[in-house]
Amino acid sequence: MNNTQTTKRSHARLGALGLVILAGFAWAPISSASSLHEPEKKTVSERTLTSRQLVIAPIGASMAVGDMPRLHDALNRGLDAGLTISESKEILVQLYAYAGFPRSLNALTLLMKVLQERAARGIHDAPGREPGPVPSGHALLDLGTDNQTRLLGSPVSGPLFEFAPAIDQFLKSHLFGDIFARDNLEWVDRELATVGAIAAMPGLESQLESHLKISTNVGLTMEQLRQVASELKAAGEPDGARRILVALEKN
């Protein structure tokens, strides 16, 4: 296949995803390049989702739809299962990029309340570590572009980004730079949170399909993603669980 044919196919694939807000990209198998945040890939027989990982998607789902009682429960279960305070905060900070600042601010306020309640009961949650420094300027853009390429498996371009170059800049510099460069949360955990949030919101099927593919790029298996769907259903998000299963059938 020549370069022109390859480019046309890549553009067609991107166009099929439609307009994407902070998640507009297509997918190809990831290269052999590694990242500090990328887990070693293992088969499901070697590694199933831990109780800590299983609660991340329900946190994302309840935060995204603003269901504060369910989020209260999910945050407690996450801390009980081993999420640190830093990791819990980071999940809610990242998800502003997908669910908006109001949801994120409300969720962080609730997390503060949850931590106060737990402290009053004598529970001392591990603080975790704060993220390391993130570069700025051109170095941040370069890092974000590299992170985006690692997650998606190939460089991203297409008609959408020619039509709205600002969103391309924001994706590379901010989402994949400022946010994904923060090293206090693994990429697997970031994708579990994102899948939970996007699955809970109707009308985002193409973005959900894209993030499920990215999830397999960072080491999750199809069976583990079905575990995520089961966990969402058990946590009171049957519509989100159904959307994941439908999207998995297309992958």
Name the superfamily (CATH) of residues 44-130+165-251: AhpD-like (1.20.1290.10)
pLDDT in tens, 161-195: 999 999 999 999 999 999 999 999 999 999 999 99
How many CB atoms within 10 Å of residue 203?
Answer: 7
* d(C-alpha 156, C-alpha 114), whole Å: 40
The set of long-range contacts for 119-124, using a CB threshold of 8 Å and a minimum separation of 24, is 123/79
Tokens of residue 153, six digits: 């498996």
* d(C-alpha 21, C-alpha 171), whole Å: 9
Q: What residue spans define the domains of the chain?
A: 44-130+165-251
| Ordered alpha helix ranges (H), the chain | 3-16, 51-54, 56-64, 68-81, 85-94, 96-99, 101-120, 137-152, 159-163, 165-169, 187-200, 205-217, 222-234, 238-250
pTM over 0.95: no
pLDDT in tens, 115-155: 999 999 999 999 999 999 999 999 999 999 999 999 988 88
